[in-house]
């Protein structure tokens, strides 16, 4: 009877030990799963960051090429005399010729230095924002790349570089306008296939979305990478 009592008495202890062991194993499994999940999230974030750097580098390289092209064209020796002659037909013909040098551009314009008022009549509509770029180009040599007429069918990226004569006097500005679709083409479909990506200009409340790729439903809260 004593042996039987001992055996019966040990059974609850063994059962309790088994339960504790199972709980410990289950807790260990959850911890291991959380660790794996955390590692997967870190790996995914790293992939996103690498993708962002790749896209940023591709866009920056393309913009740099455009800027170099604009600077080189603005230094063409025939442009100062064409602007000084103020012959609309000759200017228009030269603009058509220059447009072949930058196939992505939908407008290449030669704008005289004395243009300092908004106007809808011209190679491109000249808004107050456009005037700011023209003034910056005349003063500093080139203007910062900027979005013009955002939200309209005429929205475009504008690059501008001053044109000077032999005396280093500013006689005009070379303006190159690129449709936003040109920039969007830089965001390959594979970049946005597993999420959503935006190419932005500016910061804070002044952010302008230049192009996007992917499903916008993934856009929630702050960007996980920039």
pLDDT score at 62: 82
Q: What is the mean pLDDT for each group of 10 consecutive residues in the chain (226 residues)?
A: 42 56 58 66 73 75 88 95 94 95 92 92 90 95 85 82 95 92 68 65 68 70 56
pLDDT score at 50: 76
174: CB partners within 8 A, 6+ apart: 70, 73, 74, 79, 98, 108, 109, 110, 111, 160, 161, 162, 163
* 46, 49, 50, 141, 153 from 43: Cα distances, Å: 5, 10, 11, 44, 40
Is residue 138 a contact partner of residue 113, using CB atoms and an 8 Å limit?
A: yes
Please give, one letter per residue, the 3-state secondary structure of 189-224.
HHHHCCCEEEEEECCHHHCEEEEEEECHHHCCCCCC
Q: Domains, the chain, ranges and CATH?
A: 63-183 (3.30.450.20)
pLDDT score at 3: 42
Closest to 151 in 3D by CA, of 210, 213, 220 = 210
pLDDT score at 26: 57
pLDDT score at 205: 67
Q: Order of strands, edge to edge, in the sheet holding 170-179? A: 107-112, 170-179, 156-164, 146-148
Q: Cα–Cα distance between 186 and 153 in angstroms, integer?
A: 20
């Amino acid at each position: 009877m004593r042996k039987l009592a001992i055996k019966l008495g040990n059974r609850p202890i063994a059962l309790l030990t088994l339960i504790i062991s199972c709980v410990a194993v289950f807790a260990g499994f959850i911890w291991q799963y959380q660790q794996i999940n955390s590692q997967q999230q870190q790996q995914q974030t790293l992939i996103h960051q690498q993708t962002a750097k790749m896209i940023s580098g591709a866009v920056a390289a393309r913009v740099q090429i455009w800027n170099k092209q604009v600077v080189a064209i603005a230094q063409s020796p025939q442009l100062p005399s064409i602007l000084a002659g103020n012959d609309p037909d000759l200017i228009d013909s030269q603009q058509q010729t220059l447009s072949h040098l930058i196939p992505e551009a939908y407008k290449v314009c030669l704008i005289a230095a004395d243009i300092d008022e908004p106007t809808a009549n011209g190679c491109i509509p000249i808004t107050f924002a456009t005037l700011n770029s023209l003034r910056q180009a005349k003063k500093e040599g080139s203007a910062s790349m900027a979005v013009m007429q955002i939200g309209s069918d005429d929205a475009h990226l504008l690059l501008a570089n001053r044109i000077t004569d032999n005396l280093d006097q500013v006689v005009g500005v070379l303006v190159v306008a690129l449709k936003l679709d040109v920039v969007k083409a830089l965001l390959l479909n594979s970049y946005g296939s597993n999420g959503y990506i935006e190419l932005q200009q500016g910061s804070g409340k002044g952010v302008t979305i230049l192009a996007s790729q992917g499903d916008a439903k993934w856009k929630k809260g702050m960007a996980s990478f920039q």
